[in-house]
Chains A and B, each alone.
Chain A
Amino acid sequence: AQRVTQPEKLLSVFKGAPVELKCNYSYSGSPELFWYVQYSRQRLQLLLRHISRESIKGFTADLNKGETSFHLKKPFAQEEDSAMYYCALTGFQKLVFGTGTRLLVSP
């Protein structure tokens, strides 16, 4: 079965600290993994996807098939990074979301 697990409901850090939002998945085939972000009072939007191998707003995520993980990282968190982050995988167009992690970056 397809499943995405985000073990942390809340991650609170100070500005400038490194951030790692954990995501583990289970999928029988070769998944495509995504990170979506939802800022306060805004719609859900794509942050990055593993096949792009790009860094968006300083965030990166590496797909580790051995550990079935797709953790989201940023070396220096900013206050504007405070948001809800959802890890998701897709198969046949459908998205399966994790339960989300709220990142709170304090000054």
Chain B
Amino acid sequence: GAVVSQHPSRVICKSGTSVKIECRSLDFQATTMFWYRQFPKQSLMLMATSNEGSKATYEQGVEKDKFLINHASLTLSTLTVTSAHPEDSSFYICSAYKGVETQYFGPGTRLLVL
């Protein structure tokens, strides 16, 4: 199978602080990972495409300086929410691309900014 993990599963932080979320592909290498955001009772919205060894590609309307993405290895991508504010509170989900148009999803990270 293909397993993708995320850490932490839940994080609470104060407004103005930065939060780092890790996404790991545990049993396969992923040159491409994706970061999604999901609001309550809404669909997943793609935020950015993370490419190993190169800059991430952000979707329209997503601030790249706000959501820093680093894909330093074939099994790890990180999303850092900088200077978090309450409106950044959401459920962040990553996925790893294993080829043939197949993505495997992480369990998600719930961020609450106070």
Interface residue ranges, A against B (CB under 8 Å): 32, 42-46, 49, 86, 90, 93-100
Contacts and interface: CB of A to CB of B under 8 A. Distances in A.
Interface stretch (B63-71, B73-81, B102-110): B102-110
Contacts of B97: 93
Contacts, number: 39
Interface residues of B, number: 19
A102 B93 CA distance: 19
Instruction: Please name the 8 residue pairs, one residue from A and one from B, whose CB atoms are nearest each other, closest first.
Output: A44-B105, A99-B43, A43-B107, A97-B43, A97-B44, A43-B105, A90-B101, A32-B101
6 contacts: A42-B107, A44-B44, A44-B95, A44-B105, A94-B34, A96-B46
A82 to B, nearest CB: 16
Contacts of A100: 43
Per DSSP, are chain B's interface residues mostly helix, strand or loop, or mixed? strand
Given A43-B107, A93-B32, A93-B49, A98 B43 contact: yes
Interface of B: 4, 32, 34, 42-46, 49, 93, 95, 97, 101-103, 105-108
B43 to A, nearest CB: 4
A86 B34 CA distance: 17
